[in-house]
Amino acid sequence: MKENYYLFDTHAIIFWNLKEEMSKDFIQFLDNQDKQGHLLISSISFWEIALLTQKGKLAFTDVHAWKEEILKNTNIKVINPTADEMIDATLLPKHHKDPFDRLLIVQANHHNAILVTRDSLISNYAVQTFWM
C-alpha cells in the first residue's frame, strides 16, 4: 500500500501550528501524519511567512524562532525547490498568479505529495489537494 505524503500550503502550516482555522478532526489527522513522518513543508513557505510578517499581514515576532520551534517539535521534512521545479512553475497555466502557490503545486507533483490547502484556485491544476 502506497503511503501518502502531505505538503503544506503556507496558510495550512500556520493554521495547523496555531491549532486554529481547522477542525479538531483535521488537526488530529495531521498530527497522526506527523507522527508517521508524512508531512512536508517547502522552504519557500518560510520565505512567504517572512514576507507576510514584514508587510504586517502576519504577527510573528521572530520567524527564525518560529521555524526552529516547528522543525524541532515535529517530524516535518523540509523540501527545497529545484531549478527544474522553479522553471516548471512558470510553465503552468495562468489560473493562479501567486508564484508561491504555483511552485508548491509543482513541488507537490514532483514529490508525489498531496497539497494541503483550502485555496480553491489550486483545484484548477492537475494536483491532488486535501482539506477537511
Mean pLDDT along residues 103-130: 96
Cell numbers that stand for 65 in this block? 524562532
* Residue that wins the pLDDT comparison between 2 and 88: 88
Q: Tell me whether residue 64 is in a domain.
A: yes
Cα–Cα–Cα angle for 83, 89, 93, nearest 5°?
155
pLDDT attached to residue 86: 97
Q: Tell me whether residue 1 is in a domain.
A: no
Q: Tell me whether residue 132 is in a domain.
A: no
Q: Tell me whether residue 54 is in a domain.
A: yes
pLDDT in tens, 62-112: 999 999 999 999 999 999 999 999 999 999 998 888 999 999 999 999 999
Mean pLDDT, all residues of the chain? 95
Q: Tell me whether residue 115 is in a domain.
A: yes
Amino acid at 120: S
pLDDT attached to residue 97: 87
Q: How far apart are CA 33 and CA 39, in angstroms?
A: 6
Q: What is the count of structural domains for the chain?
A: 1
Helix or strand holding residue 129 (H, E): strand 129-130
Cell numbers that stand for 2 in this block? 502506497
Kindly state the percentage of the chain with pLDDT values over 70: 99
Q: Tell me whether residue 81 is in a domain.
A: yes
Q: How far apart are CA 119 and CA 131, in angstroms?
A: 9
SS3 of 59-98? CCCCHHHHHHHHHHCCCCEEECCCHHHHHHHHCCCCCCCC
Q: Domain holding 95: CATH number? A: 3.40.50.1010
Q: Tell me whether residue 12 is in a domain.
A: yes
Q: Tell me whether residue 2 is in a domain.
A: no
| Among the listed residues 42, 43, 38, the one whose alpha carbon sits nearest the alpha carbon of residue 6 | 38
* Residue that wins the pLDDT comparison between 42 and 1: 42
pLDDT attached to residue 1: 60
Domain that holds residue 47: 7-127
- Order of strands across the sheet that contains 5-8: 77-79, 39-42, 5-8, 113-116, 129-130
